[in-house]
Structure formats: structure tokens, C-alpha cells
Structure 1
Amino acid sequence: MTNRFDFKGVNAQAPYFEGWYVKTTDAEQDFSLALIPGMALFSEKECFVQYNLYYKGKSVSGKITYPVEEFTIVSEPYSVLMPLFVLSEKGVKAHLKDEENDLLIDLNFGDFLPLRQSLFSPSIMGPLEYIRVPCSHDIVSMRHEVRGTVTVNGEKITLDKGTGYMEKDRGSTFPDRYIWAQSNSFIEDEESALSLAVADIDFNVFDLTGAIAVFHDGIKEHRFASYQGTLCKVTMDENLEGYTVYLKDYSKSLKVKVSLQHSHELIAPMSEGMDYPIKETMKAEIRVTFQEKNKQPVYLTSKNGAAEAVNWDN
């Protein structure tokens, strides 16, 4: 099966974007860092690294842009390169500096926890992987160890018990409307991991709302997806500061309640441009109830999840 980390847009033509979402969490230190390196071929061509960091009640975020010619892939070891930025499956080394912040990043990754693959489901997209859709989603690793250091404006943070997550997106545009949530730092079970997305999908002749989610209990992957017959319901809070997702199929169910407080702005590819502002929180409280048929339910809570809700108001 295809390595889901690898860059897929070698011969891509505009409009096109491809980016990685690289997250590290250390719940004991109240630390979360998301790095979003990528490239975009729209009317303006660019490569970039976005960052969103939360540490002990303080948040910093930003985007650093380079000419698209500065985006390079090398094969040994397979790595994504930009000025003062290197990402591989082994780690990330970077110096990100803008007018407001100065970040030095030196992180090493442990073994990835990938998703199951088959001819029917080579990725989380299932059979939709074989169809050209506006945005293809990938999960590279549900969970892996992270060790190293991050220096934020002169303050050095050492990570000995970091937990990592990685996903990817590629295509011509993000969905007009979607929600997304992720965590692998649950208080009750440090081995469990969650990733979910619900989005409107444009097939040109018709639109539909599709759901994809994975709950990994540390031993087994439990997948929920519209292409498998999963039923999905989303309820936004009245103040739009949170939402609840209900997923159910013939043998299992998943309820995920998400808080959207402490959000900060990122930029997403939308309508053939890399300039659409969205809000993401790195400090989401996520409550999970997972139920398998004839088994006791699993209840989990995370206070260091990540979440978004874009143009979703029920």
C-alpha cells in the first residue's frame, strides 16, 4: 500500500494544495504545538509553514511564506524541505521567525501508528481515494512518541513524554463547511486516540455530507465512515462554541462532545486561494463515549484536544 506521508502532488497543476498537519502534545506540561507545512498552486504560488502553539495559558500562532520554488522533496530519508525547515517520518527540525515570534524546534518521532489499509480502503477516504474530489484527507499516524525541545521566544521547553499525531490534506479546496476534532491525550487512557471529520463534499452534479472517524483504543482500530454505512448527526451548541457528533453503525457507536474555546486564526485553501481564515483551538475539551455491541461503554476525556468548526451552524 502507498505510504500516506509522501508528497502526492509531484505533477499537480493549479489549482492545487497539499499540506501536512503535525501535532505534538504534552498534557503534563499543558503544551500543544501544531505545524502545518505545505504548498499551494493558485493564482499566487507559495509554500508555507503555519504554527499554532499553546503553553500554560498562552498562545502564539502565525504563518511564514516562501516562494513555491523553495519547496523540495528529497528521498533519502524522505523529507519535506523549506528554508530552515525539515520534516520527515523521523522528526521535524525548524527555525520559524516572524515579526512577533521566534521558534526553534527540534523534535524526534517514535514509530507511527498508521491506519489499516486495503484495496477498498487504501486511506481514511475509503473508495473515495480512487475518485477525484475537491479535498482528499489522510491520516498518517494516530499516535507516536515525541521527544526533543521547542524554544519559544527564548523560553526552552523540553519534551520527554510528548505524543504526536499527523494527517494530510490535498486537492483544489477545503470543503465549504466542515467540523474536525482530534486528540490522543486522554486522561483515563493514554493509549487511546481519536480523529474525526464531517464535511460537505462537492461532486459537481450533487453534494453530500460525509463523515469519517477513527477511534483507536490502543489495541484495535474502530472506524466510522459514511462509505461503510455509518449514520451521522451533528448538533452545534446554541452559542456555537462547541458541538456534539453522534456516529453509529450496526455494531458500535461513538459520541464526541467538543468545546471550541481558546481558538486562534489559521489560513486555509478555499475557492482557489490560500487566504481563507478559520479558527482552530489547541485547547479543546473533548469527551468521548464509545460503545461496542454487548460490551461496556468507554468514557474518555481530553483537555488538550484540537478542533475546528468552519461555516457550521446546524
Structure 2
Amino acid sequence: MGRIKNIWNPDNFQGKHEKKEYFEGWYFKLVDKEEENFLAIIPGISIKDDGSSHSFIQVNDGNNNKAYYIEYPYKDFTYEEDKFIVKIGGNLFSKDKLILDIDTNDLKLKGKLEFKNNVEWPVKLLSPGAMGWFRFMPFMECYHGVVSMNHDIYGNININSKTINFDKGKGYIEKDWGTSFPKTWIWAQSNHFSKENNSIFISIANIPFIGREFNGFLMGLLHEGKLYRFTTYTGSKINKLKYMDDSIEFTVSDSKYSLHVKIIKHNTTRLISPKNGNMNGTVEESLTSSIEIELKNKKNNTIIFKDIGRNSGFEVKGRLI
């Protein structure tokens, strides 16, 4: 019963009954009010049947372009059955707060952050979260959830003797679970536009499906309290996807709106990604890229929103065909 209930609670831990070739991880993106400090904190688990199962916390220090992967025993991973509260050692992760207590030779990271005014992706009976009806498919390689598109941060973190005040900063939380990340993908996210509380999330990936493959995508633009969704399952289409040396450009549209996007890459850090449950893949991630967007009403060709997102997370793995 818990497994079925969790379909409509994608934030919660989904892997209770998994015994091999499985991963699950949450992604916390943190930017301070002054937009001078950028961190991504990624707690998760890697399950294998060969004795190598473990839990982990991965950290992307966007200020110094450094990444850390801290491995913990699998037994150090605990969770609440009916809500998103995960603990790894002395660290706690939820949609409302983050408590960090990491002490290694390379990284000392301690502090407590609270999240307020969370904007969650809608969960409906036939569309339980960002995956839409694909969430009901039991054989997907990778599932995705958006825990909070945008929220305010309060609290402090001390990283390697440097104290960062995150009061009135901006945050984003998402998660992935399954066997492997896709073989190719594009991911980007920003909460920083010329006006507050606008956000964008972009995910395009190669999806293996019943012996075939297709390019699936999930995109959400939060503007003035309205979430504009462009997804495979809502019938949206991507046109003119172009790869350039340091940027990617495309247009996505549905029956009512079109969204033109140009993502410009800045400094990147190499992170670890999952493959067949193992954390042995890699991807380059930036926390300081930019996203140029233009949202149009197709009926009268008027511009609804045009802006540039700062402090953008950005990953590119391979090339989508």
C-alpha cells in the first residue's frame, strides 16, 4: 500500500523495496541574497546486490568550482515512511529544512537552513507531479520529481571556516530515482530574474521506452504565480534544438504558448551520476550559467515574459538527436 500511496507523494523516499541496481537522490540548490554564494547539496543512496550499497552526500561548491562526494554506510540512511524526511548520519533533509554536519579532511560543512514560501509542482489524480502520467509506468529508467520550484531560505552554513548567511536567499529542490540517469540530457534551472518569484526548470533527456527511445522533456516556467508547463505528456513540441560551443538554444511550444530558450554555460564542476545503481558516471554542472527566455502568446503573438535568469544550474551530457 505504501508503494502505491507514494505515487502521489513523489517527494518521499520511493526505494523501500529495492534490492539491486537502484539509486535515489534529492537536489538542493542554494543561492544567498547577495548572489555571491552558490551551493548544491545532493543526498542519496546507491543500492547494489554485490555488497557495495551505500548512502552519500554530494556537494557542488559553485564559488570555487569544487565538488565533494562523501560516502556513508547504507545503514546510515534513514527516512520517514509518510513524509519527505531523510537522514544520513548527522545530516537531515526535508522540503522545509536542511541540517548539515559533515566533517572530512577536505570538507567541513555545518549549519541549518529553513525553507519558506515553497512553490510545489501540482500533484493531481491522473498527473502525480512533474512526470505526469509517465509516473504510472513501472519500467522507466529514471523518474523525476520537483519538490519546490522556488522558496525563500533562512539560516547559516559554515563551509571550510567560511560562514555564509542565507537569509532571504533563494532555493530549489528536485529529485530523481530509478536505475540510471539517461545516456544524454540537458538540465537547467534558475530562480533569479529581474523580478522576484519567477523561476524556470528545464529537463530534456533520451528516454528508453518499451524497446524504443525518444527525447522526452519536462519544463516549467513560473511567472506571476502561474506555472506554464511544457512537457511531452501535455503534447508540447521542441523545435530547432541547437548545440553551440558554450550554449544551447531551442523553442518549445504547445497550442497556446511558445517558449524560446537560450542557455549560456559558465564555470562547471564535475559531479558523480548514477548508472545501473552505481555512482560511477560523471556530468559537468554549472551553478553560474544564464538562461535567456521569451514566452509568447501564439494567438496574438504578444510577449508575456522576456528576461534573463541568473545563477542558473546547467548540465549537458552528450547530444540529443
TM-score bin (small chain): over 0.9
After TM superposition, where is structure 1 displaced by more than 3 Å over at least 4 residues in a row? 74-78
Alignment length (residue pairs): 309
CA shift in 2, pair 1:247/1:45, >3 Å: same
Aligned to 1:150: 157
Q: Which moved more, 1:197-206 or 1:175-184?
A: 197-206
What is the correspondence of 1:78-227 to structure 2 with a 5 Å cutoff? 78-132=84-138, 133-186=140-193, 188-227=194-233
Aligned to 2:278: 273
Opposite residue 47 of structure 1, the aligned amino acid is S
Opposite residue 196 of structure 2, the aligned amino acid is E
Opposite residue 214 of structure 1, the aligned amino acid is G
Q: Indicate if the aligned counterparts of 1:27 and 1:304 stay in contact, CA closer than 8 A.
A: no
Tell me the distance in 1 between the aligned counterparts of 2:207 and 2:174.
19
Opposite residue 6 of structure 1, the aligned amino acid is N
Offset at 1:118? 2.0
CA shift in 2, pair 1:285/1:74, >3 Å: same
Opposite residue 281 of structure 1, the aligned amino acid is S
Offset at 1:77? 7.4
User: What SS class does the counterpart of residue 128 from structure 1 fall into?
Assistant: helix
Pair 1:309-2:316 in alignment: yes
Offset at 1:272? 4.1
Q: Indicate if the aligned counterparts of 1:48 and 1:64 stay in contact, CA closer than 8 A.
A: yes
Q: Indicate if the aligned counterparts of 2:62 and 2:286 stay in contact, CA closer than 8 A.
A: no
CA shift in 2, pair 1:98/1:211, >3 Å: same
Offset at 1:75? 5.6
Aligned to 1:250: 255
Q: Which moved more, 1:295-304 or 1:107-116?
A: 295-304
Instruction: Select the residue among 43, 52, 72 that pairs with 1:66.
Output: 72
User: What SS class does the counterpart of residue 269 from structure 1 fall into?
Assistant: strand
Tell me the distance in 2 between the aligned counterparts of 1:302 and 1:13.
41
Aligned to 1:53: 61
Offset at 1:313? 6.6
Structure 1, gaps ≥5 residues long: none
Instruction: Select the residue among 260, 266, 269 that pairs with 2:265.
Output: 260
User: What SS class does the counterpart of residue 150 from structure 1 fall into?
Assistant: strand
Offset at 1:27? 5.2
Tell me the distance in 2 between the aligned counterparts of 1:204 and 1:291.
35
User: What SS class does the counterpart of residue 19 from structure 1 fall into?
Assistant: strand
Q: Indicate if the aligned counterparts of 2:237 and 2:252 stay in contact, CA closer than 8 A.
A: yes
CA shift in 2, pair 1:49/1:287, >3 Å: same
Q: Indicate if the aligned counterparts of 2:39 and 2:61 stay in contact, CA closer than 8 A.
A: yes
User: What SS class does the counterpart of residue 6 from structure 1 fall into?
Assistant: coil
Offset at 1:204? 4.0
- Percent identical: 28
Q: Indicate if the aligned counterparts of 1:196 and 1:214 stay in contact, CA closer than 8 A.
A: yes
Aligned to 2:10: 4
Offset at 1:105? 2.7
User: What SS class does the counterpart of residue 160 from structure 1 fall into?
Assistant: coil
Aligned to 2:47: 41
CA shift in 2, pair 1:13/1:75, >3 Å: closer
Tell me the C-alpha RMSD between the 2 structures: 1.8
User: What SS class does the counterpart of residue 57 from structure 2 fall into?
Assistant: strand
Structure 2, gaps ≥5 residues long: 1-6
CA shift in 2, pair 1:73/1:272, >3 Å: closer
Offset at 1:106? 1.3
CA shift in 2, pair 1:77/1:271, >3 Å: closer
Opposite residue 83 of structure 1, the aligned amino acid is G
Offset at 1:108? 0.7
Tell me the distance in 2 between the aligned counterparts of 1:244 and 1:26.
28
Offset at 1:290? 1.2
